[in-house]
Structure 1
Amino acid sequence: MVTELKEQIIETSLILFEKYGFHGVSVNQIVQVSGTSKGGFYHHFQSKDELLFVIHDYFISYVLTQAEEAIVSSIFPTVKLQKIIKSFVTVFDLYKAHISVFYQESTYLKPKYEEIIKQKRQNYRDLIFDVIQEGIELGEFRPELSVDIIGMSIIGMVNWSYKWYKKDGEKSIEEIADMYVDFILHSLLTGKTKQNPVFQPYFLHNRLSSST
């Protein structure tokens, strides 16, 4: 299938880019290692530069779509933020290799591709900021907190997961995501909001209490 060939090329390039760097890998190497052909490569990608863009775009588009779905499918800002954080954290398991290449090789993105990625990242930040602002206005989140500082703190904290997360680590990605949710919501929610039964399952101590 066409999609399988495209995925095969991407997976091979991820391995090669991680090992040798973007400029250390040629299209010929990608074709040879992936067992495809130049015709197959150029059917899916105009160039190696476009391939690098697609790798970057995969996980950014994923978290952006997940955030948009969280916003339209939920009423409470707390629920929206919980879903956004969960999907944000799990992306480091789903697209770990993509993200490693992103941070390692992002400086080599061509300007036209870099602009697209920057815009999607800005859109993602705006969605998170909007949810926090909405939570403050509706009285779910603490009003004395800065939307920008809290928003960037969440993004920065979760982003750093790529540095230390390991698939075979002590905690699964789902457990790590639950810890992030617990930590962030405990810091962000008002005392009254924390008592809302709708949000109780988001706090780890409540889960432990209900299981004993």
Structure 2
Amino acid sequence: MLVKKKLITSKFKPLNGTDTIQTVKERMDQEGVQTLPVIDSTTHTLIGEVSYHALETAESGNSVSDIDLQDPIKLYWGQHVFEAARLMLQYERKLLPVVDEDWKLLGVIEKDEVLNVLPRMLNITEPGSVITVVLDRMDFSITEIVNIMEREGAKILGLTVEKSEESAQTIELSFKIDLQDVSRVAAALRRYDYVISTNSENEIFNQDLETRADELLKFIDM
């Protein structure tokens, strides 16, 4: 899902140069955030961000224009919601400013909205199992894998891609399918020389997509 209008809070009020240090600190305390975006009040373009740490060393009577702004962590209109989740994880943010190609601020995307969207995208609530295929990073066809699975009666509900822990030359594609027993699908893939990663005798993963996604959501929710 791409970050578009329905995911963005457009009524968010960004900071500008005239906001006082004390006012901004009080707002951060009230909203429970550590950073807030700053715009040029004339052009409404994003020019930086202010952190709570920077405010602690500034004079309370000063304004935002009196302190050095940090480069903003931002999201562009039309980027995928997975990128929003990645940035929130990496920089521990509860919200991200969303800008157009000219850096005009369109609004913000909030962590709660990302948490609402991800489970639907990953089909967490759908019953099924996960099967992971280990592939050469430079030479693989998702189309062929999907065709093999579908010939065995499997419907693909979701897909994730991860770097392999075994080798930098391989990746792991985890397919969530609507079957409880994936042994037939795994056997069919092996007939085509695909390497299947499995943790149990009946080919049902102990660590399935729901678990991985749940860990991601818990981490975002910290």
Structure 2 length as normaliser, TM-score?
0.27
In terms of fraction of residues, the more strand-rich structure is 2
Structure 1 length as normaliser, TM-score?
0.28
Q: Give the number of the structure whose alpha-carbon radius of gyration is greater.
A: 2
More relative contact order in 1 or in 2 (CA 8 Å, sep 6+)?
1
In terms of fraction of residues, the more helix-rich structure is 1
